[in-house]
Amino acid sequence: MANFHFEKASFELVLQGLGALFSFPIAGRLSDNLGAVRVARMIAIPFLLSIAFLGLAPTIPLLAIALFLLACVMVRWT
């Protein structure tokens, strides 16, 4: 991370942005095919688990994975 001159906050924003960008097309298709209410019900448990993983991540790489997953799930939730 030092070679790219990222600060921790900007690195987190990049990970969340990539997670959102990755899951927007999937979320749109799921909502069109299944309906928004049904998708929200399916995503409730992964959303809660991803928030728990943020607090339990002991290392920076695991925190990065948790942030990416949280962004993927949050896009589908909204």
Residues 10-27 pLDDT 10s: 777 777 777 778 778 887
Q: Is residue 4, in this structure, part of any structural domain at all?
A: no
Q: Is residue 1, in this structure, part of any structural domain at all?
A: no
pLDDT at 56 over 80: yes
Q: Is residue 24, in this structure, part of any structural domain at all?
A: yes
Q: Is residue 73, in this structure, part of any structural domain at all?
A: yes
Q: Is residue 9, in this structure, part of any structural domain at all?
A: no
- Domain hosting 38: range is 14-77
What ranges in 1-78 are assigned the alpha helix state H?
Answer: 8-34, 36-56, 60-77
Judge whether 69 and 19 are in contact, CB under 8 Å: yes
- Mean pLDDT estimate for the chain: 79
Q: At what angle do helices 60-77 and 36-56 cross, to 10 degrees?
A: 160
Q: Is residue 70, in this structure, part of any structural domain at all?
A: yes
Q: Is residue 51, in this structure, part of any structural domain at all?
A: yes
**Tally of domains in the chain:** 1
Q: What pTM was computed for the model?
A: 0.62
pLDDT band (50, 70, 90) for residue 8:
low
